[in-house]
């Protein structure tokens, strides 16, 4: 009996080690911008090349990683799984059209972020004029010192009558050549749910950008309200 328990514990530890190694490789691919070579990945993760190659091959087989011209990159299966994660269901879809409208009106890189794990985590983004200086991508985290982070951590009433009263305007304090206007996005019941941020070059009039950002934030809340109102409760599953 003790031998069986020992073998089971050993197998369990080995499985955890494989999973930890696989996720370490995937995280390194993320840090490398989504693509890297075998030697680069192995060195960064502190794993032997043979072990790294074996793990990557297994990840390729399940679609989590793809090979591309002798390098490895995040696969489409992992992307599809990642899209299913939503800190607030419906928020990403509700933000899509307002973010595009915000960029069209201001030329801004527009992002919606939520507070997650000590960062302002981007869940929806549209690149704009400052993309060469400050790229935006879904899944990217901003520090809480940014305009978005300040909005997400501010202590304010649920919803002010004047939405611009809650705006945080940041003029190149974080990154040279980039100014930001960030405002809260509220859920239909008035709770702070996210921050919407417009990132523009310094020559843009930030107050005007903030006004457009406030309208985009209100549009997201309106979309969330309509989505909540249109939700139909399905009947319970019949059991025979």
**12 class by beta-carbon count within 10 Å (0-12 exposed, 13-18 middle, 19+ buried):** exposed
pLDDT confidence of residue 240? 40
- The pLDDT tens digits for 180-223 are 999 999 998 888 999 999 999 999 999 999 999 999 999 999 99
For residue 61, report the phi and psi dihedrals to the nearest 5 degrees: -60, -30
Task: Answer yes or no: are the C-beta atoms of 64 and 26 closer than 8 Å.
Answer: yes
The Cα 143–Cα 152 span in angstroms is 11
The Cα 35–Cα 53 span in angstroms is 15
Distances (CA, A) of 205 to 50, 126, 135, 170, 202: 55, 20, 21, 12, 8
The Cα 21–Cα 19 span in angstroms is 5
Q: Model pTM?
A: 0.68
The more confident residue out of 207 and 47 is: 207
CA neighbours closer than 13 Å in the CB half-sphere of residue 209: 27
77 pLDDT more than 80:
no
């Amino acid at each position: 009996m003790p031998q069986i328990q020992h073998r089971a514990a050993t197998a369990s530890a080995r499985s955890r080690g494989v999973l930890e190694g696989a996720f370490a490789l995937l995280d390194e691919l993320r840090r490398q911008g989504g693509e890297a070579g075998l030697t680069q990945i192995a060195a960064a993760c502190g794993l032997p090349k043979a072990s790294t190659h074996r793990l990557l091959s297994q990840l390729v087989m399940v679609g989590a990683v793809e090979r591309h011209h002798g390098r490895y990159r995040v696969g489409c299966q992992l992307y599809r799984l990642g899209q299913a994660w939503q800190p607030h269901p419906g928020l990403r879809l509700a933000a899509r059209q307002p973010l595009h409208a915000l960029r069209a009106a201001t030329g801004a890189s527009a992002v919606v972020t939520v507070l997650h794990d000590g960062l302002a985590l981007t869940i929806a983004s549209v690149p704009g004029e400052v993309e060469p200086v400050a790229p935006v991508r879904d899944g990217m985290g901003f520090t809480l010192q940014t305009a978005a982070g300040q909005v997400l951590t501010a202590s304010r009433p649920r919803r002010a009558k004047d939405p611009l009263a809650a705006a945080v305007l940041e003029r190149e304090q974080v990154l040279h050549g980039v100014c930001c206007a960030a405002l809260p996005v509220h859920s239909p019941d008035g709770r702070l749910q996210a921050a919407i941020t417009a990132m523009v070059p310094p020559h843009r009039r930030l107050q005007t950008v903030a006004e457009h950002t406030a309208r985009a934030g209100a549009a997201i809340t309106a979309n969330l309200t309509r989505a909540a109102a249109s939700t139909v409760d399905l009947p319970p599953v019949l059991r025979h």
